[in-house]
Amino acid sequence: MPLLDLLRQSVYSRLAGYEDVNDAERLSQDPTLRLIGSEKIWERGAALTSRLQSFETELLARDETRASLEAINRGLIAQAEAIDSSQRVVLDMDSTEIPVYGQQEHSAYNGHFESTCYHSLLLFNGKGDCLAAKLRPGNVHSAEDWEELLLPEIERQQELGKEVVFRANAAFAKPEIYEALEERGVKYAIRIPGNDSLGRDIAELLTRPIGRPSDKPVVWLKGFLYQAASWKMARRVVAKVEFHFGELFPRVGFIVTNLGTDSRAVIRFYNKRGTAEQWIKEGKQAVKMTRLSCHHFRSNDVRLWLSVLAYKLGNLWRRLVLPKRIDHWSLTSLQQRLVKTGGRLIKHARYYWLLLAESHLTRRLFGGMVERIESLPLPAG
């Protein structure tokens, strides 16, 4: 069976919510999966479990084929940017826990997650596309290998003449990251841990307001210059202090930034970083990024990238194809309401009939998606 057909089967099955090769035998007879794979798959059925497992854990684990998965992801991103792109690119970086099963290679205990796991690093843009991913041993710091993922993407975006802005949580509050971003002219908003020195700078904000507590949170902001002992220069810090009804102590957060906007705009911009956590959650639940059950680390790295490709296709489907009425659906909703819709596929000599049950997917919605797909420009070459 051609390698491209095997790759399609691996990615499409994950996009449909089937996390590993255990379902390959049943899916090999699924008419829709056979049709989108290739004409050859339609005639003789898709690959079975043993063939697909060998493809994912052996063939794709080679250096030359492993690199091709990143190239495919990059090609998808380039095509999406040609269709829907802006001059300002927001990059979000975060790490996440991937549980392991048994004595898997390079698995280790992580004190933060309080589990034995892998500790992957992911980079997203502001539209939910996963730009880069790296599977790491479980005991590495959250920001380990940040430059391997972040700096090439910044360089690529700047070569296209785009403004780059970076967001990250306190795990990435490292002076070498600030300096690298400043050298490249990149704006950033990164949360930093609080300390006594920062607390003294906002001491006047920490006193609870006099009078009856408000049902709504009372929020105070303050911007000031601050220089930690490990920093070579003073940087702007924005503090946010929130008093909530029924809570004895205020909630305090600090963000280091070089954005030129006012403090409220900085906080509003940083708070949107939470969407990156939602995208990671979607990747775990919808395309099963955490389903890395191989013993060898390299094979698990390949399976992570296959899940990234499936997530990428799902996000592009949502961004570029879904009608406005349902463009807010999560990938899990798309799987349950659209991908797994009951239907019947009838093959004729010159065409196919696809008969679908009208439940969440009405004829009007399906027709809208088909029209949007037809209007997309064909990729060059």
Q: When comparing pLDDT for 163 and 65, which is higher?
A: 163
Residue 142 carries which DSSP code?
Answer: T
Q: How many CB atoms lie within 10 A of CB 220?
A: 17
Do 105 and 295 form a contact (C-beta atoms < 8 A)?
yes
pLDDT score for 140: 95
Phi then psi dihedrals of residue 143, to 5 deg: -95, 5
pLDDT at 1 over 80: no
Q: What is the arithmetic mean of pLDDT over 300-313?
A: 93
pLDDT at 365 over 60: yes
Q: What is the arithmetic mean of pLDDT over 81-95?
A: 89
Distance, CA of 293 to CA of 310 (rounded, Å): 18
pLDDT score for 48: 74
Q: What is the arithmetic mean of pLDDT over 42-71?
A: 81
Model confidence over 343-363: pLDDT tens digits?
787 888 888 787 877 777 788
Q: What is the arithmetic mean of pLDDT over 262-281?
A: 92
pLDDT band at 18; cut points 50, 70, 90:
confident
pLDDT at 11 over 80: yes
pLDDT score for 229: 93
Q: What is the arithmetic mean of pLDDT over 190-201?
A: 95
pLDDT score for 246: 86
pLDDT score for 169: 95
Q: What is the arithmetic mean of pLDDT over 132-157?
A: 95
Q: Rounded mean pLDDT of the chain? A: 88
Do 23 and 296 form a contact (C-beta atoms < 8 A)?
no
Q: Is 150 exposed, middle or buried (0-12, 13-18, 19+ CB in 10 A)?
A: buried
Q: Is 98 exposed, middle or buried (0-12, 13-18, 19+ CB in 10 A)?
A: buried
Do 140 and 157 form a contact (C-beta atoms < 8 A)?
no
**Structure tokens belonging to residue 6:** 């095997």
Q: When comparing pLDDT for 361 and 163, which is higher?
A: 163
Q: What is the arithmetic mean of pLDDT over 95-113?
A: 91
pLDDT at 244 over 60: yes
pLDDT at 37 over 70: no
Q: What is the arithmetic mean of pLDDT over 71-85?
A: 86
In 15-162, beta strands by DSSP E: 88-99, 108-110, 115-125, 130-134
